[in-house]
Amino acid sequence: MSRTDDRSLLSALLDSWDRNNTILVNLLRALPEGGLDAKVVEGSPSVARMFMHIHYVRLVFVSEDAPEFAGPVPEGEWRNGRDRSRIADMLNESGKVVREAVKGRLESGKDMDLHYDHPILFLQHMIWHEGYHHGQIKLALKVTGHAFDDEKIGPVTWGVWMDKGRS
């Protein structure tokens, strides 16, 4: 059976976003002690600030592109977060906001207001943006002597994409 019907595509698309968020939160939870303060070089943002930036970017784009789904946008873009479970809650929350914005705009047939011709482009942009910072976060840990063990981090990050029985 063809899988190009809209419902099937929408469900796979939203599944990809959910997996992306799961991977990000798994990375956060797997950080070693002191990992939130790691930086690639002096002057670059800490791991904590990168997670907070990702949360901020999600919410600011929804507020600019699909404001009917927006909640409050945090005051600063690169704030320092100290509490890992609080950051995880924030990411899960902003993940839902993005999900609802994309789903809502797709269902209503409306483009995004400011940056994108199609809601899917917004979702792809967020996944690309977060993958970019994911690599920076891992590099920051490596250069500060806190490198992840690939055998441990692989299954909760790369493995989530390739978990065939999950959805």
**Binding-site sequence positions for a divalent metal cation:** 53, 129, 133
In 3D space, the residue among 71, 62, 127 whose CA is nearest the CA of residue 101 turns out to be 62
Q: In the chain, how many H helices and how many E strands?
A: 6, 0
Q: Which residues are annotated as a binding site?
A: 53, 129, 133
CA dist 167 and 164 (Å) reads: 7
Hey, what's the torsion of the CAs at 76, 93, 43, 83, to 10 degrees? 100
CA distance linking residue 143 with residue 39, whole number of Å: 8
